[in-house]
Structure 1
């Protein structure tokens, strides 16, 4: 009896072990099959993301994430969801997805992208301080990353909104010096230039009390300024003045530097670049001369004395546009006819097609015209090697607008 009972127990044990093995194999096969199914589903989402099917992803990914929270692809799923929601303009939900992606991801490349996305959402939700923090982190985590130029540009705009001029200028300057060939650099240069000009006109201004017989031209001539700068700094809407009126009179000493190879005109202050402008230059057979020049005359709406005779201002055939700044040097007289002017052919800017003059867009030459006086240096070089942008700290030793009053005697 004992022998048979032992044999029976052994068989039962073997049977139980067999069943357990079958069960384990079955569970393993089921789990493996389930994981394979989940992976295939996630591969489908990856394909949708590459095809930019953001609508489908925004609808389906939340359910997938909730159903499979432990799936290894969940960090990437949150990333796909954040991008999809952001592209659809659902910035609040996108921000939640970005925050989950930030919590689950670790690589610098992905964090760089996540912080940029968070910055966009915060900005759209008018959360300016948080947007600044996110864009700053985007740049810090990967300074040479693909989203760094955009992050720096957005930082500059946001600091400008906050009224922090020095930080705004610093951000734009960093973008231009670190990513000079990035498409965002042109916009940054324009914005930085406008900020620099606003600051310099204020920084170099004195206060002047209008006296009997004064005019903007007389005041400008007295202080080596221009009527247009005085109007801008004093927020005047007309040339009419009244006795006793207080004006802000900017007195910056600008220099113009022309880079023929990059086809740029640089407005400089104390050796630093304030703003840049695209230009057209002389054709190979009539090249723009190099050297040290000075502005000798300024003409509004100039007549063009063409080979076929004079062409009046406003005529579409007048290639000089709306402004003329005649230049000369010790070797090249004013009669040679070289100058900086506007154009009726804006498509020629950036090209070498002129008879030796420097062409600018009309709106650009009008701005330059308002900022420079007769006698302003104009330096023309084949290549300007050293190009350092102005920042507000470089002008702090100048007297502030409110510190000087003149015109009393």
Structure 2
């Protein structure tokens, strides 16, 4: 009898143990399923821009389950969500946690970048020094990551703040060659446009530029043709108010220029290249209708200051409020099109012309001085379908 009782108790204990193991297994399975659902919700919410939902789902996993394998991903989701919600200090804490607790994480490079830009915001010697160290770590450890592009941009901004203009320019040009579509492209173009313009008009000659001594028989026009630099630009760079005062023996700075122009009808911009490298970008207007601004290769064949406008059999003189060409006209080869100013600045950046390239007054006057006759012009791109047009212009 005792033996039977013992066997029964042993079997009962075994059944209880099996049931306990099974219950534990199913509980663990249920737990893992819930974690997976929350992580999926957090990720999908982040991707769709529902940042509060992403934050709540990620936080529930961390605070309720403490899931270790996915913890760096959850900190990343919280960091991105906090940033989007404008909670920068909370985001900073998440980036710091990724850097501190998860070396080698796929999110470490982005965390380093976020921390570096936070230091950049502080400014000053200490802020820039800390940012520089973080950018350098990205450069050395994560050269293939998207954060690397931001690090190069950071180096350029630090150089610019330190007065190292040439180094900043070279870094930005390198970045534009290596990574044409980096997130800070528009800001980099604005910085480069400003740097290049200031260097061009600086009295100090740069590498590749020439100091020319005026000889007997020289004129600004002949000097410009010799070096393929516009007459107007030589005057402006050398601060010559009256070309008739040009004297033998005067030393002139001759910029090292080989300009070409690219007009993109897709985003209504005109990019000026020097020796094939970015120099400056301007907003423009292009044709109101599909195909009005022709695509292809052209060159500037004629330059006019204060041009008359020939319109519907009438000659509208320069300075007339109805003269749509504004103060400058640069005609293209093989077409009735060209680049000119505008009397309606609100049309710039839009599809609002009859085919010509329209520019703001200051921009077209600057471009006119920069480019000589013969400058190549390439018109590219595909116009956007969501047309933003004004009244029709030439």
Q: TM above 0.5, one fold?
A: yes
Highest Rg: 1 or 2?
A: 1
Which whole-Å CA distance do the structure 2 matches of 1:378 and 1:18 have between them?
94
Match of residue 75 from structure 1:
72
- The residue aligned with 2:215 is none
Conservation of the 8 A alpha-carbon contact between 1:281 and 1:287: no
Corresponding position: 1:28 with 2:31: no
Q: CA RMSD in A?
A: 5.2
Question: SS where residue 163 of structure 1 aligns?
Answer: coil
Instruction: Determine if the alignment matches structure 1 residue 366 to structure 2 residue 365.
Output: yes
Name the counterpart of 2:102: 104
* Cα distance, 1:69–1:348 mapped onto 2, change above 3 Å: closer
* Corresponding residue of 2:315: 309
- Specify every segment of 5 or more residues in structure 1 that has no aligned partner in the other structure, as ranges: 207-216, 232-237, 240-247, 385-409
Bigger RCO of structures 1 and 2 (CA < 8 A, at least 6 apart) = 1
Alignment of 1:95-134 (within 5 A): 95-102=92-99, 103-104=101-102, 106=104, 108=106, 110-111=107-108, 113-126=110-123, 127-132=127-132, 134=134
**Does residue 275 of the first structure (1) align with residue 280 of the second (2)?**
yes
- Corresponding residue number in structure 2 for 1:189: 189
Query: What is the CA distance between 1:364 and its match in structure 2?
Result: 1.8
Q: What is aligned with 2:374? A: 378
Unaligned runs of 5+ in 2: 210-219, 225-230, 243-250, 381-394
Q: Distance in 2 between matches of 1:280 and 1:63?
A: 51
1:258, 1:265 within 8 Å by CA — same for their partners in 2? yes
Give the SS at the match of 2:279. Answer: strand
1:204 pairs with 2:205: yes
Alpha-carbon distance change, 115 to 382 in structure 1, aligned in 2, over 3 angstroms: same
Aligned to 2:173: 173
1:371 Cα deviation after fit: 4.7
Instruction: Work out the CA distance in 2 between the residues paired with 1:314 and 1:158.
Output: 48
Deviation at 1:308, TM superposition (A): 0.5
- The 1:253/1:265 distance shift into structure 2, 3 A limit, reads farther
Q: CA deviation at 1:165?
A: 2.6
Residue in 1 that maps onto 2:46: 49
For 1:69 and 1:344, how far apart are their aligned partners in 2? 64
Measured against aligned partners, the alpha-carbon deviations of 1:308-339 in whole angstroms (never above 9, x if no partner) come to 02333261x212223356899xxx9xxx9997
Aligned to 1:85, the other structure's residue is in SS state helix
Cα distance in 2 between the residues matched to 1:45 and 1:352: 44
Task: Report the equivalent of 2:260.
Answer: 257
Is the 1:160–1:168 Cα contact (8 Å) retained in structure 2?
yes
Distance 1:96 1:369 in 2: 52
Q: Where does 1:224-373 land on structure 2 (aligned, <5 Å)? A: 228-229=236-237, 251-259=254-262, 267=272, 273-277=278-282, 299=305, 301-304=306-309, 307-313=313-319, 315=321, 317-324=322-329, 341-344=340-343, 347=347, 359-369=358-368, 371=370
Q: Give 1:78 deviation, angstroms.
A: 0.8
Q: CA deviation at 1:173?
A: 1.7
Following TM superposition, by how much is the alpha carbon of 1:97 offset from its aligned partner in structure 2, in angstroms? 0.7
Q: CA deviation at 1:82?
A: 0.5
Conserved in 2, the CA contact under 8 Å of 1:86 and 1:121?
no
Q: Give the direction of change, closer, same or farther, for the CA distance of 1:293–1:71 in structure 2 (3 Å limit).
A: closer
8 Å CA contact 1:281, 1:358 repeated in 2 = yes
